Amino acid sequence: MENTASALRSTKTINKVSYSFSPGGTGKSAVLAAVTEKNQRTLIRKTSTDTVIVEQPLQITLSWLAQGVVENRVFTITMRTPGHDYLLIIGLLHSEGVIKQLSDIESIKLESDDITGQGGQNEWLVLFNAGVIPDLSSLERYMMSYSSCGLCGTTSLKTLELKTVINLSFVEHKNVLVAQSLLLLSSKMRGQQGLFDKTGGVHGVALFGLECNREPAGAAELPLARSLHQKLNLQHIYEDIGRHNAVDKVIGALLTSNDVQNKSVHGNSAKSSQQARLCLLLVSGRISFEIVQKTIMAGIHVLVGVGAPSDLAIQAAKQFDLTLIGFVSDKGFNVYHGDWRLTNA
């Protein structure tokens, strides 16, 4: 697993002045110390450098051919941490229902090579293959709903329904996830968060795949045997100043991986082994509706967060039968929907 600190342009070094307080002297001649009159504590002031996370705008422009005419449209401008932009763009377009599979896209490249400096890395152009027109209907219908009735939870759920007909319910998932296996997920992800180690200013998102080594008939049916031979493998992990961007990067990595490349993950007409294989997404922090939407669109079955979910996130999870878990730690967690996938073994 590649440490996420390897992303280029993600951090920069800045100067800072640190203030701290201690009851005694500093013992360092280079440090300016002053005793306060109120509590006689020593104020320690020193200059040093720090590593901070970079935040830059990302503009995504879509380009396609319609009736012999080239159409261009700025899809979005979002703030993100530079690095893995290609994956972020793929994940975002899929999450919004603009593309159904990776083969819809001919290329993703920088919009202009003439712009020098950091700004030249912020404008990206997505070219669609001949005959492919990006599906912007759900976004347009969403804006119509917003202008007519205002933005609300019902509008958000209806918009999600317009974007996908995906089915997350598989009988193979009943009682397949051992509850105890979730307790160490946060530490597994934390151990790979190189950018957080450097800056303390990013969210982390990780994708795990469930691996079950089945025993011969009889032994595999025992709960203890199931627990001993189950493993959640860390497949992808990305970091970003925006939690939703980190999710898009993970989904982009999933879509470009060899096992799902050029295959649609929408729909439920065929329950392939890839679809039925349980996938789990872990996010640092709280779980918003937007994170749930991206998870559902990617066909991921279990969403786990370190923090709490919102009420709308829970509603969406129930509507699409997503297992939603919050407040995960090494001591336990809360299941807000989809407890049927878990077992106490």
311-320 vs 289-297: helix crossing angle, rounded to 10: 20
Distance CA 2, CA 147 (A): 45
Cβ neighbour number for residue 257 with a 10 Å cutoff: 12
Distance CA 267, CA 154 (A): 23
Q: Do the Cβ atoms of 144 and 136 come closer than 8 Å?
A: no
| Distance in angstroms between the alpha carbons of the first and the last residue of the chain | 29
Distance CA 22, CA 36 (A): 11
List, in sequence order, every beta strand (DSSP E) within the chain: 11-22, 32-35, 42-53, 56-66, 69-80, 105-110, 123-128, 177-178, 203-212, 230-240, 279-283, 302-305, 323-326, 334-337, 342-343
Cβ neighbour number for residue 237 with a 10 Å cutoff: 26
Q: What contacts 24+ positions apart, CB below 8 Å, involve 17-26?
A: 17/45, 17/46, 17/47, 18/44, 18/45, 18/46, 18/47, 18/48, 19/43, 19/44, 19/45, 20/44
Catalytic residue check, 212: no
* Burial call 78-89: b when 16+ CB within 10 Å, e when fewer: eebbbbbbebbb
Q: Which residues contact 67 (CB under 8 A, 6 or more apart)?
A: none
Q: Do the Cβ atoms of 183 and 329 come closer than 8 Å?
A: yes
Q: Which residues are part of the catalytic machinery?
A: 149
